[in-house]
Amino acid sequence: MGTLSDAIAGIINSWAKDGGVNHAAGPNLPAREAVLRALADIETLIFPGFRREDGIDDRNLGLVAGELVHRAAKLLIPEVTRALEYKTRQAGASDCPAACEIEARDLVESFFNWLPALRSVLMRDVEAAFRGDPAAKSHEEVILAYPGLEAIVVHRIAHFFWQAGLPLLPRMMSESVHGKTGIDIHPGARIGSGFFIDHGTGVVIGETAVIGDDVKLYQSVTLGALSVRKELGETKRHPTIEDGVTIYSGATILGGETVIGAGSVIGGNVWLTHSVPSRSKVYLPEGEDIRIEPRGAS
């Protein structure tokens, strides 16, 4: 039986042999804990008084908002800088500490300037949840308690940084809320306003999915790819869902060329790998093949 000294030596040797080390003395990757603390402050700016006890009233709005913005920015800028340095290294270029920090500061400032517009979109999402769920008693209940809203809040934040070409951080953000809610939205997915995920657990939305306005999903819906081959990584692999579509629980819709036409309803447990026209009703009668009819048909 080996000693603890032998175990320590073996662990250190595995670091050298197998890799997977984030070097403390060399180029570092973004710190997960700092990113999540910044995300918590951003969520408080979006829904003040709902995400933490922050003591906001008419007398201290400026002080509280200023503290949250500066604290979140102070956390984000070093992590964004590290992500940009990583991107530079991945491209085979030399490190860029000064240039990357300037770019990081500009990106973080742009994000906080965009935050009022983000709040407007998210309030439409809140309204969609309130209108779309008979069990919702108030907008406040939606903000406080609905996992679907929590997932879309973090997604819209992560998507901003994804669109800016920032690696690592968007996935760190999206996976943090995935773990909390069971809703897996890739930060690359493009999602319109008035989006509502009811119940939520098991929902998967892939990187190149495009979702229009006023779309409603239920639990265990998958918007996925027909193939997971690595060489297809830069192609559109996930479906397009047009405005006003409702997709019921357990439905699986696959493929980058698959388009679900506006105003359609996709029934539970349907498996779709082809497009359907606008205002379709797609369902799977028990024991029968899939059936597609115009909505409103008897």
Q: Which two tokens stand for residue 174?
A: 């999206």
Per-residue pLDDT tens, the chain, 298 aa: give them. 679 999 999 999 998 899 888 876 667 899 999 999 999 999 999 998 887 666 677 777 888 889 999 999 999 999 999 999 999 988 888 768 789 999 999 999 999 999 999 999 999 999 999 999 999 999 999 999 999 999 999 999 999 999 999 999 999 999 999 999 999 999 999 999 999 999 999 999 999 999 999 999 999 999 999 987 888 778 999 999 999 999 999 999 999 999 999 999 999 999 999 999 999 999 987 766 677 778 875 4
Question: Which domains are seen in the chain, by residue range?
Answer: 29-183 (1.10.3130.10), 202-298 (2.160.10.10)
Here the contacts of 132-140 (C-beta below 8 Å, separation 24 or greater) are: 132/196, 132/198, 132/216, 133/196, 133/198, 140/50
**Residue 281's beta-bridge partner residues?**
265, 293
Q: At what angle do helices 147-163 and 97-132 cross, to 10 degrees?
A: 150
E strand map for the chain: 184-185, 190-191, 196-197, 204-205, 210-211, 216-217, 222-224, 240-241, 246-247, 252-254, 259-260, 265-266, 271-272, 280-283, 291-294
132 with 195: CB under 8 angstroms? no
For 291, residues 6+ apart whose C-beta sits below 8 A from its C-beta are 282, 283, 284, 285
Cα distance between residue 121 and residue 194, in whole Å: 7
* pTM attached to this predicted model: 0.91
Phi, psi (deg, nearest 5) at residue 198 = -90, 135
Which pLDDT score is estimated for 64? 84
Cα 49 to Cα 115: distance, rounded to the nearest angstrom: 17
pLDDT at 196: 98
Helix (H/G/I), strand (E/B), else coil: 114: helix
Instruction: Please give, one letter per residue, the 3-state secondary structure of 157-189.
Output: HHHHHHHCCCCCHHHHHHHHHHHHHCCEECCCC
Say which DSSP state 204 is in: E
Rounded distance between C-alpha atoms, residue 195 and residue 211, angstroms: 9
- The single residue listed with the structure tokens 């990584």 is 233
Q: Which residue has the tokens 């973080």?
A: 108
Give me 11's structure tokens: 């662990």
Residue closest to 262 by CA, chosen among 281, 279, 247, 246: 279
